[in-house]
Structure 1
Amino acid sequence: MSGSDLRDAYFEDARLHGLKVNHLTNFGERIASGWSKREIPDVQKPDIYRSIRLAYEDAEIWDTMDVFLAAEHASRRKGLLWPAFKKSKSLKTFSTWLGSLCRGAYSNYATSPWRAVFITALIPVFFAFVYLAAGLPNAAASSTSNVAQSVGQSLYFSLTTFTTLGYGDVTYSADRPFLRFLSTLEAFAGAVSMALLVVIFARKVIR
């Protein structure tokens, strides 16, 4: 397949083992799902994408490999995991499908680090507005006299909590247990998110 233009090629029932590709090979970003009145069954798509992805991985063409890695996982979620859940209605099949959905939404299956950065940045902003709506911590509330300062204090508290810095200058008192729990939950989300970011960026850099 080296140098071949395979855009709009139809691969129903095709066996694509041992593909050899180069920078001139062009599958497009998605395989053709239909031709004339025929449609590729959803259960076949993950294997087709996997074969193409492995070919680009062997050729060390990483950016294109990432395109087909994401397509492989997305088609697996839609064509295999979701039908498996609808058939069995079990917690295991649902959690597997949901995990795939979340990984796709967060980082496009670890292929889009900037999407992961954007979503990670949204988390402390979301929590900041929750704190602002629920009431600022006592130390922040006592020193805040206008809306801009309130927003700034809530963002400050949220960011220091999310990054697990925990300066301790602004905290919720013991009479607000729910907000204490919420801030702990944010700290956990921050630790997990930053660990994921390191893995995603390391994956890009090491290659």
Structure 2
Amino acid sequence: MKDKPTCQYQSPDGHRCQEIDMGSGLCFWHDAKFDKSGLELSQKLERYAKRGGLLQGLELKRANLEGLNLVKHNDHTGYDLSYSNFYRANLRGAHLFNNKIENASLMKADLHDANLHCCKLSNSNLLGIKLNNTRIDNIDLSGKLQQENEASLAAKEKRTEDAADFFLQSEETYRTLRKGAEQQGLFEMAGNYTYKELRMRHYQYPTHSKKRFMSAAVDLLCGYGEKPANVIRFSLSMIVFCALMYFLFGISYQNEVLSINFSQSFSDNISALLNSFYFSVVTFTTLGYGDITPIGFSRFIATVEAFTGSFSLALFVVVFVKRMTR
């Protein structure tokens, strides 16, 4: 008696399915043409997983997987559901702890009350997912969404409209993730998704537009209100730059001009440089002791630095308080 033909599915990782061919060359789990809409497959899929079936590349579009429990107890690796299609699948209450769902599609899947704790979702399509009361702490996106990668490729190939559309989808996905994180009280994670959401919006603006320039400036200054360290870096850079300008153009101390002067000794120049740094800090923080005063072009630099300093200090307080009170 001839052996029954097996499924011809082979994952991009090289894994072959050993299930019986249904006549289409593929098994029930990997046949995209087999309509699984509404089929209750939770228990069947659990049994398939426990007996070692290939979980990569599953075609479960619109399937009913409510209450699915795919957790490998006493195993730190979890199940590998990469390359699978869960488009519009019902995954309410699904327990998918620590599973690998990379390069997959969860587009518009219903994950109400599901557990995605520690799931690896790199390069997966998460557009339109429903995350009502979904546990998403410690999920791993490894940097980018599927749409982000598509957008970067489209931008590189000068397909402007396609790139803008993919960036819009990425923005929507990060917004969904942000709301899901806020609902779970994961405010640090929510802040990271807020930053990425606004970053995706930035890329949708025309390259040389005013909006894109302003967006880049806000990102540089404070990371869209999510990165206090950016304010500190900008402030330190401003202080150093202005100090060097004072050292170049000169400042006045007790009727003596302090500036770079190659005819003076090295120690005198170092003293002038240190005084320039001191004056820069005093000006940036708007303390204004008055012991050192700007002269010539240094007056303009001091005016700009004082204005920038007062703005930066206020900005830092706002951003810092925002982060600390979450």
Question: Normalized against structure 2, the TM-score is what?
Answer: 0.53
The reply on whether 1:81 has 2:193 as its aligned counterpart is no
Q: Which runs of 5+ in 2 are unaligned?
A: 1-110, 155-164
Match 1:101 to one of 185, 195, 216: 216
Amino acid at match of 2:272: S
> Which structure shows the higher helix fraction?
1
The share of aligned pairs that are identical, in percent, is 23
* Structure 1 pair 129–24 and aligned structure 2 pair: CA distance change class (3 A): closer
Shift of 1:195: 0.4
| 1:135-154 pair list within 5 angstroms | 135-139=250-254, 141-142=256-257, 146-154=268-276
The reply on whether 1:164 has 2:286 as its aligned counterpart is yes
Q: Distance in 2 between matches of 1:143 and 1:28?
A: 52
Shift of 1:140: 7.3
CA contact (8 A) 1:3 1:25 kept: no
Shift of 1:61: 0.4
Match 1:186 to one of 305, 308, 321: 305
**Relative contact order: is structure 1 or structure 2 higher (C-alpha 8 Å, sep ≥ 6)?**
1
For these two proteins, the number of residue pairs brought into alignment is 191
1:168-192: CA deviations, max 9, x gaps? 111135xx2x322221111000000
Amino acid at match of 2:187: W
- Classify the secondary structure of the residue corresponding to 1:165: coil
* Structure 1 pair 150–31 and aligned structure 2 pair: CA distance change class (3 A): same
* Structure 1 pair 170–45 and aligned structure 2 pair: CA distance change class (3 A): same
Aligned equivalent of 1:88:
none
Question: Normalized against structure 1, the TM-score is what?
Answer: 0.80
1:127-175: CA deviations, max 9, x gaps? 00011111223537457861210111101111111110111111135xx
Shift of 1:18: 4.5
Greater CA drift, 124-133 or 144-153: 144-153
Amino acid at match of 2:206: W
Amino acid at match of 2:318: V
The reply on whether 1:8 has 2:134 as its aligned counterpart is no
Q: Distance in 2 between matches of 1:193 and 1:27?
A: 33
Q: Distance in 2 between matches of 1:163 and 1:140?
A: 24
Aligned equivalent of 1:54:
179
* Structure 1 pair 102–71 and aligned structure 2 pair: CA distance change class (3 A): same
Q: Distance in 1 between matches of 2:323 and 2:290?
A: 36
